[in-house]
DNA sequence: CTGAAAGCGCTAACAT
DNA sequence: ATGTTAGCGCTTTCAG
């Protein structure tokens, strides 16, 4: 027992309401569920009794028969607090919540932090507390994914998934992601359009993160039939990593005139390096970032031209996918488009 | 209906397990709930069948009879994303989750963002989905507080509550807060011990926030029987506010030799003003902050001496209070102690 | 348009 | 140590 027994107080039930209003339980049930075939007069009477008694339907009972809860779990694996620092998660969650709210569903957020949490969360999801789950960020192939499979719980995976060699493809499971590849293409095409000819990239950890792989691929897509051989330096999505990678690029290719940096955080580091090396931005080197984290992109010197993702829309989409309100274009996975936001750095 | 019907798949029930293992439902129930009086042999057999069938107990059914869910709601009113920017909430939530996990309870986080959310969250809480709720930050007197009262749902209020004139006192409801007054005393006593004689304070918005009231009271406590008349300037807990208030103080009291700033964020602004005015810290003016947000306090120049609150412990305490595992010293409310963290600014 | 009755899956006396 | 029996509070046929 978790909470002490004294915590339970008897609440009015459907039956109480029925007795008070002189109708049957069925009728009260109909009123509550807004069914048509009840006389207005009766509806009013029942409604009055409900509010007098302060009656609230017992969801457990309802759930037992309907198999529905009107609640959706959002499961967040939370490595090193990053979720709360990065506005990404905040925006995503907001989109999810708003879309679910539109459909009368309550989003409940669960955290996965320590190993023990897995079992408890699995029990929670398996226990029928929710109608479905949105998991973020979780690798397909995750232990929880198996559990969800076995339970037949509707689920959508989203965020920035990590994929490694040997991870099984699971085409059955819905998935939402930003258009990392297309966004990178936008960025590099912009640099090309600016007339830049020696376009380098500071890539993300493409041995670890899918998004980094895709952004690098987008860079290559554009340079393939173009102007400049690929000049790639890998970093780890941190500011310092971006600064170091920029230094390495300048050492190896002193003549570069543009750089696509695969995240705004890394780009802020890269800008610092460029400044230290006396390169003017954008005159000598044009810089484009990725993410459009305004807290970074608007405050760098110069402000950062970068690729924007509509993160809230991604959240909404995840919710809509789960609610099966939307037929995904091809299969259950959806890619959310990006757009370029021009500021001063390119 | 929120999720489409196809989402439901029949899962094995207690009865299925009982039939398969050739015992009664009661026995299976006993095995699941770890009761003693079952033969080891039978326990093993039942366990095997359970895992073969992939049986997971239906919580709704269980809940309907036990009136317990093993879940606790954490309700967060989220004005302007501040929850996700401020590490305060992150730490608090971590404490809550960990303590609940210790007792096998699952924390589920709900957000209160838009007016519509109230009704849905109230339904959720009233629907028996959870055994109790931790609400943060919420004024006693809040609409949701009433609902919780009426439902008899065990609840703990926490965080930095806002209290205004006319808000009812509600002694029945548990409450956790940091020791704002005691912490402020520590800060000012430290400045006194350093030999400072003209000690000013940049107070928080004490017309709006309880914490600001208490921190100012702590400052006055120490100066009452001491060295320096109170020199008070009010600001709004922002960085700019702190900078402006510091400027005002310097104008009015050019001879001040120390200042207690009621939040680290304001203190970072105050330090900037002092630098601009050519005052050395701590030689000319000693500065103490409040909160110990390390992302600020460790990176200011000089690093900030400040009052630390054990926020995770506050979270744990809120959970423990809810679980009634702890007898609160006096009444259901608890004040968590603070301590001074010395860095270079005082 | 309304009521009666069955049953969702589980636990908790009460027997045995 | 195990089985039997009632419900928990609700929705949902099925009658009327």
DSSP secondary structure string, B94-162? HHHHHHHHHTTPEEEEEEE-SHHHHHHHHHHHHTTS-SEEEEES--TT-HHHHHHHHHT--EEEESS--
* CB-strand contact B1/D, under 7 Å: no
Tell me the shortest Cα–Cα distance from A223 to chain B, in angstroms. 38
CB nearest to A90's CB, from B67, B84, B87: B84
Is the C-beta of residue A42 closer than 7 Å to nucleic acid chain D?
no
Closest CA to A337 of A160, A157, A161, A178: A178
Instruction: Return the pLDDT at A169.
Output: 53
Measured CA to C1', what is the nucleotide nearest B29? C11
Q: Tell me if A197 sits within 8 A of A227, measured CB to CB.
A: yes
Q: Is the CB of A66 under 7 A from strand D?
A: yes
Of A151-160, A236-245, A280-289, B319-328, the poorest mean pLDDT is in: B319-328
Rounded to the nearest angstrom, the minimum Cα separation between A39 and chain B is 23
pTM of the predicted structure, to 2 decimals: 0.82
Neighbours of B37 (CB within 10 A): 6
Cβ of B27 less than 7 A from strand D:
yes
Is CATH 1.10.260.40 the classification given to domain B14-56? yes
Hey, how many other C-beta atoms are within 10 angstroms of the C-beta on B301?
12
Q: What is the pLDDT of residue B327?
A: 42
- With 0-12 / 13-18 / 19 or more C-beta atoms within 10 angstroms meaning exposed / middle / buried, residue A232 is middle
- Beta strands A338-341 and A305-309 are antiparallel
Residue A159: the pLDDT is 55
Is B181 within 8 Å of B312 (Cβ atoms)? no
Measured in Å, how far apart are chain A's first and last C-alpha atoms?
A: 61
CA distance B40 to chain A (A): 24
CA distance B103 to B105: 6
Q: Is the dihedral of CA B244, B249, B254, B256 positive or negative?
A: negative
Q: How far is the CA of B85 from the C1' of C7 (A)?
A: 50
Distance between the alpha carbon (CA) of A35 and the C1' atom of D9, Å = 19
pLDDT for A5 = 38
Average pLDDT, chain A: 84
Residues A312-336: tens digit of each pLDDT: 898 998 898 888 744 444 456 788 8
Q: Structurally, what CATH architecture does the domain formed by B180-309 represent?
A: 3-Layer(aba) Sandwich (3.40)
What's the CA B103/C1' D9 distance, rounded, in angstroms?
28
B183 or A9: which carries more pLDDT confidence?
B183
Q: Does the CB of A68 sit below 7 A from strand D?
A: no
B329 DSSP 8-state letter:
S
Ranking A46-50, A182-186, B148-152, B325-329 by mean pLDDT, the lowest is B325-329
| Reported confidence tier of residue B97, pLDDT bands at 50, 70, 90 | very high
CB B200 within 8 A of CB B207: no
- E strand map for A62-114: 71-77, 106-112
CA neighbor of B69 nearest in space, from A129, A105, A110? A129
Closest CA to B32 of B49, B20, B7, B11: B49
Residue A138, pLDDT > 90, answer no
Distance CA(B262)–CA(B267), nearest Å, equals 8
Whether B107 and A110 lie within 8 Å, measured CB to CB? yes
Residue of B nearest to A114 (CA): B98
Q: What local confidence, expressed as pLDDT, does residue A137 receive?
A: 65
Distance from CA of B85 to the nearest CA of A (A): 6
- Domain A71-178+313-336's class? alpha beta
Residue A262 pLDDT more than 50? yes
Quick one: DSSP state of residue A328?
-
C-beta of residue B112 within 8 angstroms of C-beta of residue A108: no
pLDDT value of position B228: 66
Domain ranges of chain A: 14-56, 71-178+313-336, 180-309
Interface touch B113/A124, C-beta < 8 Å: no
Nearest nucleic acid nucleotide to B1, CA to C1' distance: D11
pLDDT average, residue stretch B174-188: 91
The answer to whether B287 CB sits below 7 Å from nucleic acid chain D is no
Contact flag B8-A110 (C-beta cutoff 8 Å): no
Contact A2 B68 (CB under 8 A): yes
d(CA B324, CA B318): 10
- Chain B residues with CB inside 8 Å of A58's CB? 64, 127-128
Best residue in A96, A105, A106, A312 for a mutation probing chain B (most B CBs within 10 Å): A106
Q: Mean pLDDT over residues B312-341, rounded? A: 77
Q: Please say if the pLDDT value at position B161 is more than 80.
A: no
Which chain A residues are within 8 Å of B61, Cβ to Cβ? 60, 64
**Span A192-223, pLDDT tens digits:** 999 999 999 999 998 877 889 999 999 999 99
Can you tell me the distance from the alpha carbon of B138 to that of B142, in angstroms, rounded to the nearest whole number? Answer: 7
The pLDDT assigned to A1 comes to 40
Question: What average pLDDT does the structure give for chain B?
Answer: 84
Q: What is the four-CA torsion angle of B58, B60, B62, B66, rounded to 10 degrees? A: 160
Task: Identify the pLDDT of residue B299.
Answer: 83
Protein residue closest via CA to C1' of C5: A26
CB atoms inside a 10 Å sphere around CB A29: 16
Distance CA B331, CA B334 (A): 8
| Cα separation, A231 vs A289, whole angstroms | 16
Nucleotides of C under 7 A from a protein CB: 1-13
Report how many Cβ contacts below 8 Å link chain A to chain B.
Answer: 164
pLDDT score for B159: 55
Give the distance, in angstroms, between residue A65 CA and nucleotide C9 C1': 9
Highest-scoring range by mean pLDDT, A279-288, B102-111, B159-168: A279-288
**Strand D bases within 7 angstroms of protein beta carbons:** 1-5, 7-13
A41, closest nucleotide (Cα–C1'):
C1
The tens digit of pLDDT for each residue in A160-178 reads 555 444 555 555 567 788 8
A64 vs chain B: nearest CA distance in angstroms? 6
In this predicted structure, the answer to whether residue A285 has a pLDDT above a threshold of 80 is: yes
The domains spanning A71-178+313-336 and A180-309 adopt the same CATH topology: yes
pLDDT digits (tens, 9 = 90+) for B1-44: 455 434 456 788 998 999 888 898 899 999 988 876 778 888 88
How would residue A182 be classed by pLDDT, with cut points 50, 70 and 90? very high
pLDDT of B330 strictly over 80: no
In this complex, which of B60, B128, B154 lies closest to A128 when CB atoms are compared? B60
| B25 CA from C16 C1′ (Å) | 16
The percent of residues above 90 in pLDDT, for chain B, comes to 41
Task: Specify the pLDDT at position A211.
Answer: 86
More confident residue, B128 or A339: A339
CA-nearest of B199, B180, B179 to B189 is B199
Looking at residue B37, what is its pLDDT? 76
Q: Which pLDDT score is estimated for A151? A: 76
By Cβ distance, the residue of B1, B111, B128 closest to A59 is B128
Per-residue pLDDT band at A127 (split at 50, 70, 90):
confident
Which positions ≥6 away from B265 have C-beta within 8 Å? B237, B238, B239, B242, B291, B293, B296
CA of B33 vs C1' of C16, distance in Å? 22
> What 8-state DSSP symbol labels residue A208?
T
């Amino acid at each position: 027992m978790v909470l002490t027994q004294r915590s339970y107080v008897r609440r009015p039930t459907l039956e109480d309401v029925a007795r008070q209003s002189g109708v049957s339980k069925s009728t009260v049930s109909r009123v509550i569920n807004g069914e048509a075939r009840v006389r207005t007069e009766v509806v009013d009477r029942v409604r009055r009794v409900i509010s007098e008694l302060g009656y609230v339907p017992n969801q457990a009972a309802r759930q037992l028969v309907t198999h529905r809860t009107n609640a959706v779990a959002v499961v967040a694996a939370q490595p090193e607090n990053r979720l709360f620092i990065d506005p990404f998660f905040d925006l995503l969650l907001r989109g999810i919540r708003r879309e679910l709210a539109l459909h009368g569903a309550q989003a409940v957020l669960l955290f996965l932090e320590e190993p023990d949490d897995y079992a408890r969360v699995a029990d929670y999801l398996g226990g029928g507390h929710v109608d479905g789950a949105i998991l973020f960020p979780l690798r397909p192939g995750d232990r929880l994914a198996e559990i969800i499979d076995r339970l037949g719980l509707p689920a959508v995976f989203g965020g920035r998934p990590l994929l490694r060699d040997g991870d099984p493809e699971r085409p059955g499971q819905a998935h939402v992601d930003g258009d990392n590849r297309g966004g990178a293409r936008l960025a590099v095409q912009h640099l090309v359009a600016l007339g830049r000819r020696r376009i380098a990239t500071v890539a993300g950890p493409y041995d670890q993160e899918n998004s980094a792989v895709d952004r690098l691929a987008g860079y290559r897509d554009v340079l393939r039939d173009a102007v400049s051989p690929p000049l790639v330096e890998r970093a780890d999505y941190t500011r310092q990593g971006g600064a170091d990678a920029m230094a390495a690029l300048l050492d190896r290719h002193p003549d570069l005139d543009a750089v696509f940096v695969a995240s705004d955080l890394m780009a802020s580091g890269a800008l610092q390096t460029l400044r230290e090396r006396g390169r003017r931005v954008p005159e000598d080197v044009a810089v484009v970032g990725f993410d459009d984290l305004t807290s970074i992109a608007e405050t760098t010197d110069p402000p950062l031209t970068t690729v924007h993702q509509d993160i809230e829309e991604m959240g909404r989409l995840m919710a809509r996918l789960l609610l099966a309100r939307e037929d995904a274009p091809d299969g259950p996975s959806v890619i959310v488009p990006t757009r370029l936001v021009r500021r001063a750095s390119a």
